[in-house]
Structure 1
Amino acid sequence: MLEGENITLRPVREADLDRLRELDLDLDSRGDYWPLSIMSEVTYRDEFSRTGFWGENFGRLLMIDAKRNIIGEIMYFKTVPYMEEFEIGYRLFGKEHWGKGATTEALQLLTRYLFDSKNINRIRLCIDVENAGSLKVAEKGGYRHEGTMRGCMFHRGRHHDMQLYAITRGELPPA
């Protein structure tokens, strides 16, 4: 587990699977920017059985608030096999959690963990240009804007531009 001031990040447990599956199937809970692809029930449970949603090049952690409620998730994954970097994605499970700093804290916790435990020099975020809240999270989390990836994401019937943000090991502030 990764402990912050207001947020704890922990691995997914078997007891979490039914609730997480409900959230994955509820397209409204994904908001306007989370990918809409859905994994089959069999594949979902098989993936958890094989990996626990955790491996060398990917991981999925739950965001737990001070009241011990699951309020969101954050994950990392390898994007391009020949690059020494990971990408991080995150989402909150409900608008009632927006604007309270939980995602920024989760991003900072996972960023530090990845640099401390993995032989990488860079972590990136890809954020829809219209997702103002996530753009703020990136900047507050210490990530720097690198450019715009034009029309690279198809979501809800149209192509979206994505902002590329990244942080390198040398840019990480001291603990």
Structure 2
Amino acid sequence: MTMPIIETSRLLLREVTNEDASDMLRYLSDKDVVKHMGLEPFQSKEDALDEISWYHSIREDGTGIRWGITLKDAGKVIGSCGFLNRSTKNYRAEVGFELSKEYWGKGIAFEALEAVIKFGFNHYSFERIEALIEPANVPSQKLVEKQGFKREGLLRHYEYTCGKFDDLYMYSILKDDLDS
């Protein structure tokens, strides 16, 4: 199965390959980028290659798909966006995203997330897309709220990452929310 490509006015969302490892290492080694992702900053190209391998594995086993975010005129991967924890039986998945700090505040994450959400509803027939966001990650909360997500509640000590338990807000958007 070939990886679908999503095109927006400024972006090309495409498969991430091993050749993109250096670009990914650049932003995933930034503590500000990964601090709300439940990851330690990447230390080596091997860390980035492991992440790329995970992207491929979730696509192969049908539990997710992750696109590399690239600017049309540049081609280098500056972030990623996609689905994980996909439940085909329940027509839902969780969406996740991250973006290199040098591109924050330019509407790129909004544009990528909007395209991925539409893709999920139109091509995977999702009824529900969820986003789990740490309470301290206010910019991501604002981003999903601008997309129409509703905060449903707080999941206390929902994940154990980086040596601690994390609370996460549960957000969701339903297919019908896009039509309203």
After TM superposition, the score normalised by the length of structure 2 is 0.78
- Corresponding residue number in structure 2 for 1:78: 85
Report the number of matched residues: 170
Tell me if 1:121 matches 2:127. yes
Quote the sequence identity (%): 24
Q: Note the aligned Cα RMSD (angstroms).
A: 3.1
Output aligned runs, 1:3-22, within 5 Å: 3-20=7-24, 22=25
Amino acid at match of 2:95: I
Instruction: Measure, in 1, the Cα distance between the counterparts of 2:167 and 2:68.
Output: 28
CA drift of 1:120 comes to 2.1
Taking a change above 3 Å as real, the CA distance of residues 18 and 97 of structure 1, as seen in their structure-2 partners, is closer
SS at match of 2:10: coil
Tell me, what secondary structure is at the counterpart of 1:162? strand
Extract structure 1 runs of 4+ deviating beyond 6 A: none
Q: 2:39 aligns to what?
A: 36
Is structure 2 residue 160 aligned with structure 1 residue 154? yes
- How many angstroms does 1:66 deviate by? 4.5
Other structure's SS at 2:126 match: coil
CA contact (8 A) 1:12 1:53 kept: no
Alignment correspondent of 1:164: 170
CA gap of 1:36–1:57, structure 2 versus 1, over 3 A, is same
Q: Deviations over 1:129-150 (max 9, x none)?
A: 0001100111111211111111
Deviates more, 1:120-129 or 1:96-105: 96-105
1:156 & 1:52 partners in 2: Cα distance? 23
In the superposition, the TM-score normalised over structure 1's length comes to 0.80
Match of 2:111 in 1: 105
